Structure 1
């Protein structure tokens, strides 16, 4: 068993906000375990306690800082572009605000309003893209990001889907933090099981590398939403006749396999598929039982962990340590129907107006010319092309320190 190598203690005084990335606690989930008849020790890795609010803060910080060291990002010259489901965008907005880079985010329409508002508050520009667009489509957030890069001089896509600093951030920080936390406990000081959702795959792949190096017998369980194709064997990804390919959970699952997701035998040992309904039900259960305000992908991870444990002998083994990754919190999803209407409306008895989110989006769009709704309208491509051209024109001559409060400001004289 190799020793842990990370100092998992957050400094009491931060030089800047980026220094507050990570250092998140483990929280016991004893009430949840008891309710489901699980005798193993359940712990949640509470990533919404990172300074930007999610596990993606870690990769954003590392990708920006390493790109600067490598000369890929040049202060006073580079513009950062990134396709994201939101949390990486928030982390990048935080890092770019500190380092002074203009940032453009391409974001699918299904992603929450709260994510967009947070990124804007940190100075990012947003282009919304059609959720239904395949990843290979020029209308997808990946496709639009590439078009922006071609149109804007000195633009850089950090590309979380293929950037080795994505899994490396977790191998060097998330994994060692978990090990240090478990080593601080009496009794069993091993991580026996690690459960995490898979999106880009950086979180589960990088953390698994660290945990398996520390304990070769640690089992890693990947959680993939129904409708995604990341799980193995491929038969797990088959949908029932008439089953909808779309899913509401944000931040995990894809219609392609990202380069940084390691699916080789021996790293991710098991895969579990989880439906939206189970994910959102589990969010409510964790909130009520453990008082943790988790997001939808966290609900998927916990639901997947419970599903796997109930089918495994591990459920009856006292003292086994099971770590569940909780990627983000409820902050990002307050306006989503699965929370606002189904939880608040039904249980409090005051159904929220169904057009509240639509009206808020309209207000934002009216005040920000790049937040273009990309629905099924035939003019979507034209709208996106217009936004790309407008941003390319705006970015001409932009240098570090010239961004305004609401986004990109005038170029320095």
Structure 2
């Protein structure tokens, strides 16, 4: 019988699929190495198993031990499969920017998940690097995987992914393009392919907020380039030992927005339901199209499955919140679609200033319309409050009518954005829009800025 003795034996031999639509403007033949066909639905299954087996062989991982790793989710899933089959416990340390689906999947396969903040320095004791190391030291028979510096990571791709790509293209590959995170995939595959044919170009895809591209081009680790970003699985604020810059010919950077948009394009245009880093990879390829000719055979690696991003990339509300997709915005009512269902926050002329301050603080807003029995009577914004308080600290116990400004202008729901924009000035911080039901809502500078594409 042709059977796998366990799920680990199904890792590898993922398909190569030609892209036909999203790459129509590229003169070369473009092939996708679709890694979500691995049982853990990502390229990380390969190196996870290799790291476990190598640690078993040299005694770092003992029977009944605990595997501990900082992960963006996919390596954790590969380790979880190995832990289940081989009888180990697993602790995955993950950052709070990773999708809920990744965390839920890891728990479903028996991993303990520890969540750390994203926006901290790598050396911060709260970072997932630091927490992973600490847990490994504190846990009896604990083994810290450290995929970033573990040579088995790149070796797995040298032994498996590289040869598969070479065989599937019959040695005709001319370019390999992949997103870079720990560096294991690009370095392992790149080393193998360069040994087969030194003329093959190896291109890495980086993200804004990561240090790889500038370091490759200048040798400078620029901390000013390090900031929080949305894309998962690629980019780093450190230089992992697994990133072999010698086999990488160059990098291109892709924005978070383009990564998300092109991830969805792959599903709609090619039927490939992949994750966000794959969106980065295909957009990176499109950015490099001038480097390609009609005789080139380009392989782009798609890292993981879109099933791990249902609540993010494939959720329209999340995409709109991030500004990655927008509805056509042309009128006043279009500007307030993100908060039109919320009631209009107001304050009354005879309420105390302290009441307004509390309301602004609780609702996290900067301005309030003021009403009396006849309707809108004035306005209040944080600048007015600040200046009034500097002049008289006792102002907080006085009625709002004593410091309120002029009432906000009111426009119809179909007023143009240009009309609304002209009404917002240094003296006038907002505009009220009259809705069809006779109620009103507020338009702020933020709403107009949010509509800019």
Question: TM-score if structure 2 supplies the norm length?
Answer: 0.68
Q: Does 2:217 correspond to 1:233?
A: yes
Map of 2:36 onto structure 1 = 48
Distance 1:71 1:213, change over 3 A: same
Q: d(CA) in 2 for partners of 1:304 and 1:236?
A: 22
Distance 1:344 1:330, change over 3 A: farther
Q: d(CA) in 2 for partners of 1:161 and 1:136?
A: 15
Higher RCO (CA-CA < 8 Å; seq separation 6+): 1
Map of 2:344 onto structure 1 = none
What SS does structure 1 have at the residue aligned with 2:212?
coil
Report if aligned partners of 1:228, 1:237 keep a CA contact under 8 Å in 2: no
Map of 1:19 onto structure 2 = 9
- Structure 1, residues 27-64: CA drift from partner, whole Å, max 9, x if none? 10122221xx2110001110011110000000111111
Distance 1:135 1:12, change over 3 A: farther
Q: Does 2:163 correspond to 1:176?
A: yes
Determine which structure has more spread, i.e. the larger CA radius of gyration.
2
> Runs in 1 of length 4+ with deviation above 6 angstroms?
235-240, 344-349
Distance 1:347 1:134, change over 3 A: closer
Report if aligned partners of 2:40, 2:81 keep a CA contact under 8 Å in 1: yes
Report if aligned partners of 2:44, 2:75 keep a CA contact under 8 Å in 1: yes
Map of 2:49 onto structure 1 = 61
Question: What is the Cα-based RMSD across aligned positions, in Å?
Answer: 2.5
Gaps of 5+ in 2: 329-336, 340-453
Q: d(CA) in 2 for partners of 1:119 and 1:182?
A: 34
Q: 1:88 aligns with which of 75, 80, 85?
A: 75
Map of 1:326 onto structure 2 = 302
- Which is strand-richer, 1 or 2? 2
Q: d(CA) in 2 for partners of 1:140 and 1:234?
A: 27
Pairing 1:339-378 to 2, within 5 Å after superposition? 339-341=315-317
Q: 2:255 aligns with which of 272, 275, 294?
A: 275
Map of 2:22 onto structure 1 = 32
What SS does structure 1 have at the residue aligned with 2:202?
strand
Count of residues in Structure 1 that have an aligned counterpart in Structure 2: 326
Gaps of 5+ in 1: 1-10, 184-188, 354-413
Map of 2:366 onto structure 1 = none
Q: d(CA) in 2 for partners of 1:277 and 1:344?
A: 11
Q: Does 2:175 correspond to 1:193?
A: yes
Distance 1:244 1:269, change over 3 A: closer
Map of 2:278 onto structure 1 = 298
Distance 1:149 1:292, change over 3 A: same
Distance 1:69 1:211, change over 3 A: same
Q: d(CA) in 1 for partners of 2:319 and 2:140?
A: 46
Q: d(CA) in 2 for partners of 1:163 and 1:235?
A: 22
Q: d(CA) in 1 for partners of 2:105 and 2:22?
A: 31
